[in-house]
Amino acid sequence: MKHPSSRAFFAYWDSQRGDAPAPDRSDVEPGAVRQLLGDIFVLSSDAAAGYPFRVAGTRLNALLGRDLKGESLPGLFGVDSRRDCEDILGVVADESLALVAGVTSSSPTGAVAHLELLLLPFAPRLHTPLTMTGLLAPLGPRSAGELGALRLTTWRTLGRQSRRLRPRVLRKWEVARGLIVYEGLR
């Protein structure tokens, strides 16, 4: 992680989860990360609804030039990166893995802005919608004006895996007699 806010928020989240794959949402106390709240957000882990923002910090809203509550996180990305964004959100939600991503955008003046996106899952709870938290912060001086569509450049998972990953659903195709292709294996 490059941004100090990302490192600080991840360290706090990691300390709160202990040996669990992710902390319970009630274990993450806003007062403990007060200086980071402007860059932090909470998303609904609802793929069908487009992973909408439940809460977004003031610096994040100012960076993108609007109140993000209710908007879709993948909707902030350009068409070429939207599917990739949905895929990484699915990894965080389904596998309870922390993830950091590099993001770029252009300002109205045409200057390229580099940002860091941190995505952190919360532990699932009965009768409660699944959520995740994260942070989006610029990796340098803030550009003048709001940013345009975001573009995903890189991503990787973080930290330790405290459990085995769930098996993926595999589709079996029989292409020709005696030749079987399993989609989903690498």
Instruction: Give the tens place of pLDDT for each residue, 9-55.
Output: 999 999 999 888 899 989 999 999 999 999 999 999 889 999 999 99
Report phi then psi at 31, rounded to 5: -65, -30
- Which pLDDT score, from 0 to 100, does residue 13 have? 95
CB proximity list for 60: less than 8 A, separation 6 or greater: 38, 39, 40, 41, 68, 136
Band of residue 108 on the pLDDT scale cut at 50, 70, 90: confident
Band of residue 73 on the pLDDT scale cut at 50, 70, 90: very high
- Only one residue has tokens 């292709």, namely 181
Contact 7, 1 (CB under 8 A): yes
Choose the most confident range, by mean pLDDT, from 13-22, 101-110, 122-131, 144-153: 13-22
| pLDDT at position 177 over 90 | no
Q: Give this prediction's pTM.
A: 0.82
Q: Which is more confident, 125 or 89?
A: 89
- Which pLDDT score, from 0 to 100, does residue 1 have? 87
Domain architecture of the chain: domains with CATH: 4-183 (3.30.450.20)
CA distance 110 to 90: 31
Q: Which is more confident, 107 or 182?
A: 107
Q: Which is more confident, 175 or 37?
A: 37
- Which pLDDT score, from 0 to 100, does residue 178 have? 62
